[in-house]
Amino acid sequence: MLKHSDIWAAIDGLAARHGLSASGLAKRAGLDATTFNKSKRVTRDGKLRWPSTESVAKILEATGASIAEFLEQLPNQTVRPTQRIPVIGCAQAGHAGYFDDAGYPTGAGWDEIVFPDVGDPNAYGLVVSGDSMEPLYRDGDRIIVSPAANIRRGDRVVIKTRDGEVMAKELVRRTAQWIELHSVNPEHPDPKLQTSDVEWLARILWASQ
């Protein structure tokens, strides 16, 4: 279990790794210079104040550090093994040559990130484009997808049609003939596709958000 002191120590460690003070790291990330000050880690009435997930995401982006690198800064923690995960954009994923018939990543043209091991050596990342999954996933968010994970009703999934369209949706119902999906954004329709029109379906494990 992560402790309040562990998270702040990881932020301090990341700053030191890049030759910065805590306030210097905050400024590089576009945050107020006092965001990570030691005086702000506990409130005046003694309550622990935790850094926001948004501020952590910003310092990772500003330093170019991966989540795995951030976890390495945690004191006295057993860091999970990591794996290299290929990444492309959702629009690019619709083109031929990036997946085999089973929906596993293949071919060239992928970027790569280091990520905590998700238990699927064929996991891959997609960069979301469009607004059909707002407010859960926004344009530019990264999602980690596992083609080997079991899929159940209510899971968030990525689906690729035989026409080359790639969508991130929620699975409503799946039968031998039909796949019913839900668009979180009410401005987009809820697709109902014939199974024969679907090339592959895979579960979303994680999103950058």
Residues in the chain, total: 209
Task: Identify the pLDDT of residue 25.
Answer: 93
- Tell me the average pLDDT of the chain: 87
Q: State how far the Cα of 118 lies from the Cα of 53, in Å rounded to an integer.
A: 20
Q: What is the pTM of this model?
A: 0.62
Amino acid at 209: Q
Residues ≥6 apart with Cβ < 8 Å to 51? 7, 8, 11, 35, 36
Dihedral sign computed on CA atoms, order 83, 107, 90, 104: negative
* Residue that wins the pLDDT comparison between 165 and 67: 165
Q: Are 83 and 93 in contact (CB under 8 A)?
A: no
Q: Are 8 and 71 in contact (CB under 8 A)?
A: no
Strand 192-194 relative to strand 124-127: parallel, antiparallel, unpaired? Answer: unpaired
Instruction: For residue 142, give the nearest of 46, 207, 50, 60 by alpha carbon.
Output: 207
Segment 13-32, tens digit of pLDDT: 888 888 888 999 999 999 99
Segment 157-207, tens digit of pLDDT: 999 999 988 888 999 999 999 999 998 788 888 999 999 999 999 999 888
How far does the chain reach from its first CA to its final CA, in angstroms?
A: 22
Give percent of the chain above pLDDT 90.
41
* Residue that wins the pLDDT comparison between 110 and 187: 110
Q: Kindly list the structural domains of the chain, giving each domain's residue range(s) and its CATH number in brackets, ordered by start.
A: 4-71 (1.10.260.40), 82-207 (2.10.109.10)
